[in-house]
Structure 1
Amino acid sequence: MPEPIKVLVTGAAGQIAYSLLYSVAKGDVFGKDQPIILVLLDITPMMEVLKGVVMELQDCALPLVQEMIPTDKIEEAFKDIDAALLVGAMPRRDGMERKDLLAANVKIFQEQGKALDHYAKKTVKVVVVGNPANTNAFICSKFAPSIPKENFSALTRLDQNRAQAQIAGRLNVPNNAVKNCIIWGNHSSTQFPDVSHATVTKNGVVQPVAEAVKDDHWLNNEFIKTVQNRGAAVIKARKLSSAMSAAKAICDHMRDWWFGTHEGEWVSMAVPSDGSYEIEQDLMYSFPVNIKNGKYTIVQGLKIDDNAREKMNVTMKELKEEREMALAACQE
Structure 2
Amino acid sequence: MSSLSLFQRIVVRCGLTSCRSMKKQPVKIMVTGAAGQIGYALVPMIARGVMLGSDQPVILHLLDIPPAAEALNGVKMELIDAAFPLLKGVVATTNVEEACGGVNIAIMVGGFRRKEGTERKDVMSKNVSIYKAQASALEQYAAANCKVLVVANPANTNALILKEFAPSIPAKNITCLTRLDHNRALGGIAQRLNIHVSDVKNVIIWGNHSSTQYPDASHATVITQAGEKSVKELIADDKWLHDEFISFVQQRGAAIIKARKLSSALSAASAACDHIHDWVLGTPKGTWTSMGVYSDGSYGVPPGLIYSFPVTCNKGEWSIVQGLRIDEPSRAGMDATAKELIEEKTLAYSFLD
Whether TM-score is above 0.5 comes out as: yes
Shift of 1:97: 6.0
Aligned to 2:150: 128
Q: Are 1:48 and 2:48 matched, yes or no?
A: no
**Distance change (3 Å), C-alpha of 1:266 and 1:95:** farther
Distance 2:125 2:254 in 1: 19
Instruction: Give the 5 Å matches for 1:169-188.
Output: 169-188=191-210
Task: List per-residue Cα deviations over 1:112-170 (Å, max 9, x = no partner).
Answer: 11111111122100000000000000000110011110000000000000011000000
**Distance change (3 Å), C-alpha of 1:260 and 1:98:** farther
Aligned to 1:106: 128
Aligned to 1:138: 160
Aligned to 1:117: 139
Distance 2:42 2:187 in 1: 20
Q: Are 1:81 and 2:72 matched, yes or no?
A: no
Aligned to 1:221: 243
Q: Are 1:278 and 2:300 matched, yes or no?
A: yes
Amino acid at match of 2:51: V
Task: List per-residue Cα deviations over 1:178-205 (Å, max 9, x = no partner).
Answer: 0000000000000000000000124544
The one of 293, 297, 302 equivalent to 2:319 is 297
Aligned to 2:220: 198
TM-score, with length taken from structure 1: 0.97
Aligned to 1:267: 289
Moved more, 25-34 or 201-210: 201-210
Amino acid at match of 1:268: S
Distance 2:261 2:352 in 1: 30
Aligned to 1:236: 258
- The share of aligned pairs that are identical, in percent, is 53
The DSSP-based 3-state class of the residue aligned with 1:123 is coil
Distance 1:115 1:323 in 2: 22
Q: Are 1:153 and 2:175 matched, yes or no?
A: yes
Distance 1:85 1:32 in 2: 19
Q: Are 1:318 and 2:340 matched, yes or no?
A: yes
The DSSP-based 3-state class of the residue aligned with 1:62 is coil
Shift of 1:244: 0.5
Amino acid at match of 2:211: S
Distance 2:76 2:216 in 1: 40
The DSSP-based 3-state class of the residue aligned with 1:126 is strand
Instruction: Give the 5 Å matches for 1:10-21.
Output: 10-21=32-43
Distance 1:204 1:39 in 2: 47
Instruction: Give the 5 Å matches for 1:61-100.
Output: 61-93=83-115, 98-100=120-122
Moved more, 241-250 or 101-110: 101-110
Distance 1:5 1:245 in 2: 23
The DSSP-based 3-state class of the residue aligned with 1:144 is coil
Aligned to 1:39: 61
Amino acid at match of 1:165: G
8 Å contact kept, 1:94–1:236 = no
Distance 1:242 1:298 in 2: 27
Distance 1:22 1:143 in 2: 30
**Distance change (3 Å), C-alpha of 1:99 and 1:188:** farther
Amino acid at match of 1:159: D
**Distance change (3 Å), C-alpha of 1:97 and 1:195:** farther
Distance 1:77 1:216 in 2: 49
Q: Are 1:250 and 2:272 matched, yes or no?
A: yes
8 Å contact kept, 1:94–1:235 = no
Amino acid at match of 1:207: K
Distance 2:279 2:117 in 1: 34
Which of structure 1's runs of 4+ aligned residues deviate more than 6 A? none
Shift of 1:99: 4.3
Amino acid at match of 1:89: G
TM-score, with length taken from structure 2: 0.91
Moved more, 237-246 or 295-304: 237-246
Unaligned runs of 5+ in 1: none
Aligned to 2:30: 8
Q: Which is higher, the Rg of structure 1 or of structure 2? A: 2
The DSSP-based 3-state class of the residue aligned with 2:245 is helix
